[in-house]
Every structure is written in C-alpha cells, then in structure tokens.
Chain A
Amino acid sequence: MRILEAAGVWKVYETGLIRVEAVRGADLAVEAGELVAVMGPSGSGKTTLLSILGAMLSPTRGTVLVEGTDLSRLDPGELSTLRRRRIGFVFQAFNLFPALTARQNVELGLKLRGWPAEDVGEEALKSLDSVGLAQRADFLPADMSGGEKQRVSIARALAGGPRFILADEPTGALDARNGKAVMDLLSRRAREAGAAVVVVTHDSRIAAFMDRVVHMEDGRLTLGEAGRVS
C-alpha cells in the first residue's frame, strides 16, 4: 500500500528580484513498511522537502498524497489534523517537552492523536517499553542521555500507530554507538508497525538501515544506491 506519493513537487521562494528554487520537480513514492533515506548536503533542499512532505509547507507546484489524501486540498486546520492523526515526527534535537516526563511526552502525542484520556497512560507505557525505556518513564528529559531522549522521541512518533514517519537527522545529535542503536530501533519498530518511513539525513551510515536511498542536490531528487536492509 502506498503511503506517500509526491509528484512533480516544486518550491520556489521569490523575494523581489531574488528567486530561489528550493525543490525542483521532486518525485517520491513510499510504500507501507518501506524505509527511504533522503540524503544530501546542507542547502540542497532537504529541509524544504521535509516540510512539504510533513504537511507544514505548501509546494509551489506538484501534488503530495498522504494515504491518498491530497494535501493541496486541505485547509490549515485540516493539515493540522492530518499531521496529528497520520504522521509521526522524529527530530534531530528530539524536541521533547523539558517540563514533562518521558511518559507525559508520549501521552501528549497520543492526546494530540485523539486517544481517549483513559487509554493514553497504558499506551504510552507500552510505547516506551517498545523502545526499552519503561523503567525511565517518569524521568524528565534533562535526566536522560541523548540516545534515551531520541528513543522517547521515537516512542512518541510511533505511539498511536501512524502510518507515516518523518525523521529529520535522527542521529544528528548522537554519537556513533547511540546513532546505530536508535536507527536500529526506528527501522525495526517502523517495520513491525508497517509504517512508511522517510529519513532526511546527511549521515551515510543510515543507508545501511534503509530500503532505498535517494539523493538531493540543488533541489533535485536523484535515485541513489539501494541500501542494505538490516
């Protein structure tokens, strides 16, 4: 089942006489259970593409379908609803809420997905358990290591079973050992959940965990070498 389909996506910024083509005709399709890495140097347009695929930015041209829903037909409120219900986000800087415990961070994600209040506690613990952090559920992010924080972030992204996961440099703030552990976890959990995963990164080691790697340069996506499924 195709979860994501982006076709002919352009994003052009125009300020006075300056015209920047951040994304130029990107095509990308990702099936359920498939992991795709988008790699490229800084300034290649990865972040812009990520924002478009994450329903946070409208493309200048082209279409993006998430589970068959054309994002261009949705108003801002509907785009918010789509993000909360169907997309899980993993961020480079984890973006956990420092005042909330690990469990409360995951619960917040579930509440946003519309889970009933009486179920979120159990589901959040289950999700934390799946990333090996059930024992740390009541710890604040400040009391956790970088690797643990990213695992909480993954637990939050996967909680509630979204079919589409967008990860932005998930290993960017981690050392090699923690980076590998986090990618191992993300790929394993995403496959178990049958979610389509798009990882934007410039870390070539991530390729080993991906089904497919595409390269981005000067706003264009080009097919890269196939990754090794771990």
Chain B
Amino acid sequence: MALVAVRNLLHDKVRFLITLGGITVAIVLIFLQGGMYLGFMRNAAGMIDRTDADVWVVSRNSPNFDWSRPFPERYVNKVRSTPGVAEAKTLIFGWGFLRLPGGGTEQVEIIGYHPPLSGAGTDGSSWGEPSGFVQGDASSVLGGDRIILDESGSRKLGGLLVGDKTEVMGHEVRVAAMTRGIRSLTTAPYVFASYPTAKKLVSYLGESNTVFILARAEPGVSPGELKRRLAGRLPNVDVLTRSEYSRRTRLYWTIQTGMGFGFLMMTFLAFVVGLAIVGQTVYAATMEHLREYATLKALGATDAEVRTILWTQAAASALLGYLFGVMGVWWVARGLEGLGMPVLIPGWLYVGVFCIGFVLCLGASVISVRKALSLDPAMVFRV
C-alpha cells in the first residue's frame, strides 16, 4: 500500500508541489516564531545565564535584568560573611546615552563588572564579564574610561571601532575591545565597562549603591540552601538562584509584555494556514482519486489499508515539507540574524516542529480519510 501511496502522491506533480509549498511555508513560519521567541528570551536572560553565580541578589521585586533598581552596595559584605558563600561580587547596571560619531545620541545599557587583571578567563564570563571577543579581552577595560562594545550594536552606534573615542553620559571613553553575539532584548546595545568606570557613567544610581550582587556557593552548599541563608540576612532585597532569576526575566517578557502571546498566536496562525493549505490539497487529491479508493475497497482492501495509503501520503508530505522547511528556515534565519533579529533553534525545537508538522499533515488528512472510508465499493460498477 505504501507504493500506491507514494506513486499516487508523485503522480500529480503540480498538486504535490503545492502541498509541499504549503507545508514548507507553515514549517518555516513555525520555526521562525519559535526561533525568534527563543532568541529574544536568550537575549533577555543572557546576562544572567552566562554567569556562573549560584545566587543573584537583586532589588525587591526586580522583574527582570533590565529593570533592576539600585540597593546599598554594603550588602556585599553581608553576603561575603554568610556561611556557605565562596565568593561574591557586585555588578552594576544602568541606562545611559552614548554620543554618536556623527552627532546625536543613542540609548545604551551600561554594565560595570570587575575585570580580571590579565587576559585570563576572558571567555569564562563567570561574573558578568562580556565574552566572545573578536578584539581585546575582558581585561581591556582596565585603566579606566574604557568600554567594550558588541559588533551587533556597533553599527547602531555609528560604526564605532576599537580605538575610537566617544562619550557616555558626558564622560569621554575609548572603545577598548569588541565582542560578538551579546545582545540585549531591548533595542539598546550593551556597553561594558569596569565597575568603577560604570559607576561614574551611571552616577545617578548613587555612589554607595550597586544593582546586583552575585554569589557563588562553597562546595557542598546547594544554590537553594545558599539562597535561603542569604534571604534570611538580606530582608530588603530579593535573593534568587540563577535559574529562578533567569526564569523570572523570561516570564516577565513572555507574559507581562504580551510577547509570548504574540509569538504563540503567530505560531498558531502559521499552523492553521498550513493546515488549511495542506487539508485543501489533500482533500482535492482524494476526491480526484475516489474511484481508485473505491476500486481498492472492491478488490478487498480493508479500511486499515485505505487509511495507510492516506496516512503514508500525509507522513511523506510532512517529512519532505519539513526538510524543505529546515533548509528554508536556515536561509531566512541567516537573513534575520543579519538584520539583528535573534533566531535561536535548539535541537529540541527541530524535534518539536517535526512533530507539529506531522500533526498538521495527519490532521489535514482526517477529512480525506473519512471520505475514503465512507466510499461504497459498489460505485466501481457505476460509470
């Protein structure tokens, strides 16, 4: 029966191509919606996920990384003196403006970290340092008034290159290094600086304040246990494990902003459009082959065998449409990445979209299957 299914499918090549086109478009759309959502979420929580800190101390009810408020810097001493804390560091974050080379300003997100004294650990990113350097390293900001930009934001910032000078919040700074692949969820590019420089750039936060305290637990102390201990000593801030803060940030952008619902709706619409296209073409193909299905039933084919033909056609269409879709999304994602739209397609998304494609094709075949099964085999005697 598989032979009948495949030969029938390929017999009308135009119809088959239309079906494949419908599935491919649906698959590409679903991939892109999922990939863009994941890409945005990666950027949203990227600063949190890249660190090796077990626990984050943040301002009370901080909804996400980008909306955090300052709190007293001295809390870091309480953190360091808490049993079970191996190491703790402050990390500062604030919004600012960067003067563009051609005039005008651009809003940026300024991050102040404690740079290593040499190039060691430049890609470790364990305490909020940037990573993925194409020029320089995390220690390039040592010496003051130096900043690190990411290639993705460089164009937006007037094409600033390593060695160029500019101003951030009225302070002259020099671009000391360049990274690749660090993007914020907001449209504002990240500007990395040493902790003291960043404090100067975002002085409005207050001299004695910081924005985050990152703590690493001693061996044998779980992040949950460390969080419990710190929360007992720091009543006016939120203490979250890294995964909790990452999840909180993602949930904020997903639910509070409606972004998640938007992506979900678009994915659903892509599914429905695909379902409609494939359903229509599969049904039309079935109607065209009704006499063949009746002949099969007259010759003694069982319902299961007739069903097998249609399901095989649906599955084959799904598989081919998926493969074309994967190829298509690869090109489209490349284009979107070039435009600054993050598209993240992890392995599980490939599996998920493959399953969705199958459900789409099988769902689109349901009416056709019912039609074929309800045929009266005696119709073969009516010309």
A-side residues, CB < 8 A to B, are 47, 50-51, 54, 56-57, 77, 80-85, 87, 89, 91-93, 95, 97-100, 104, 108-109, 111-113, 168-169, 172
A51-B301 CB under 8 A given contacts A95-B291, A104-B3 = no
Which residue of chain B is the closest to A142 with respect to CB atoms?
Answer: B11
Which residues from B are CB-within-8-Å of A54?
Answer: 298, 378, 381
User: In the assembly, what is the distance between CA of A102 and CA of B381, in Å?
Assistant: 21
A47 contacts which of B7, B302, B381 (Cβ < 8 Å)? B381
Report yes or no: B10 in contact with A99, Cβ–Cβ below 8 A: yes
Q: Closest CB-CB distance, A26 to chain B, in whole Å?
A: 16
A80-B10 Cα distance, complex, nearest whole Å: 28
**B370 CB–A CB distance under 8 Å:** no
Contacts A81-B300, A168-B381 hold; do A95 and B11 have CB atoms under 8 A apart?
Answer: no
Q: A83-B300, A85-B300 are in contact. List 6 more A-B contacts (CB 8 A).
A: A54-B298, A80-B301, A81-B300, A91-B295, A97-B4, A97-B8
Partner of A84, one of B10, B291, B299, B381: B299
Structural contact, A91 and B380, CB atoms closer than 8 A: yes
B352-383 CB contacts (< 8 Å) to partner A: 376-378, 380-383
Pull 21 A–B residue pairs with CB atoms less than 8 Å apart, ordered by A. A47-B378, A47-B381, A50-B381, A56-B298, A77-B302, A80-B300, A80-B302, A85-B300, A87-B300, A91-B295, A92-B381, A92-B383, A95-B298, A99-B4, A99-B11, A100-B3, A100-B4, A100-B7, A112-B300, A112-B301, A112-B305
Q: Could you say which residues of chain A place their CB within 8 Å of the CB of B380?
A: 89, 91, 95, 168
Cβ distance A218 to chain B, nearest Cβ, rounded Å: 19
Give chain B's interface residues, CB within 8 Å of chain A.
1, 3-4, 7-8, 10-11, 291-292, 295-302, 305, 376-378, 380-383
A169 CA / B380 CA spacing, docked (Å): 12
| Chain B residues, CB < 8 A from A47 | 378, 381-382
CB A39 to nearest CB in B, in angstroms, measures 15
Q: Which residues of B contact A77 (CB under 8 A)?
A: 302
Give Cα distance in the complex from A95 to B298, angstroms. Answer: 10
* Other-chain residue from B4, B11, B377 in contact with A108 (beta carbon distance below 8 A): B4
Measured between beta carbons, the chain B residues less than 8 angstroms from A168 are 380-381
Residue of A nearest to B6 (CB): A99
Contacting residues, chain B, for A92 (C-beta < 8 A) = 381, 383
**Contacting residues, chain B, for A57 (C-beta < 8 A):** 378
Secondary structure at the B interface, as helix, strand, loop or mixed, is helix
Judge whether A98 and B11 touch: CB under 8 Å.
yes
Cα of A115 to Cα of B300 in the assembled complex, Å? 14
Which residue of A has the minimal Cβ distance to B301? A112
The interface residues of chain B lying within 8 Å CB-to-CB of A93 are 291, 383
A77 to B296, CA, bound (A): 14
**Do residues B299 and A109 form an inter-chain contact, with CB atoms below 8 A?**
yes
Residue of A nearest to B5 (CB): A99
Specify which chain B residues have a CB less than 8 angstroms from the CB of A82 in the assembled complex. 300
In the bound complex, residues from chain B placing their C-beta under 8 Å from that of A50 are 381
| Central interface residue in B7, B297, B298, B378, by most chain A CB within 10 Å | B298
- Residues of the A chain whose Cβ atoms lie less than 8 Å from the Cβ of B295: 91, 95, 97
B133 to chain A, nearest CB (A): 59
Q: Point out which of A80, A81, A98, A100 has the most chain B C-beta atoms below 10 A from its C-beta.
A: A80
With a cutoff of 8 Å between Cβ atoms, the chain A residues found around residue B302 in the complex are 77, 80
Distance between Cα atoms of A98 and B10 in the complex (Å):
11
Q: Give the CA-CA distance A15 to B259 in the complex, in Å.
A: 58
The distance from the CB of B326 to the nearest CB of chain A, in whole angstroms, is 28
Once A93-B383, A95-B291 are accepted as A-B contacts, the answer to whether A56 and B300 lie under 8 Å apart by CB is: no
Chain B proximity of A197: nearest CB distance (Å): 16
CA distance A112 to B1 in the complex (A): 9
Q: Are B298 and A89 in touch, CB under 8 angstroms?
A: yes
Compute how far the CA of A108 lies from the CA of B292 in the bound complex, rounded to whole angstroms. 12
CB distance from B94 to the nearest CB of A (A): 68
Instruction: Give the nearest-CB partner of A114 in chain B.
Output: B300
- Are B7's CB and A84's CB within 8 A? no
Q: Which residues from A are CB-within-8-Å of B305? A: 112
How near does chain A come to B10, taking the closest CB pair, in angstroms? 7
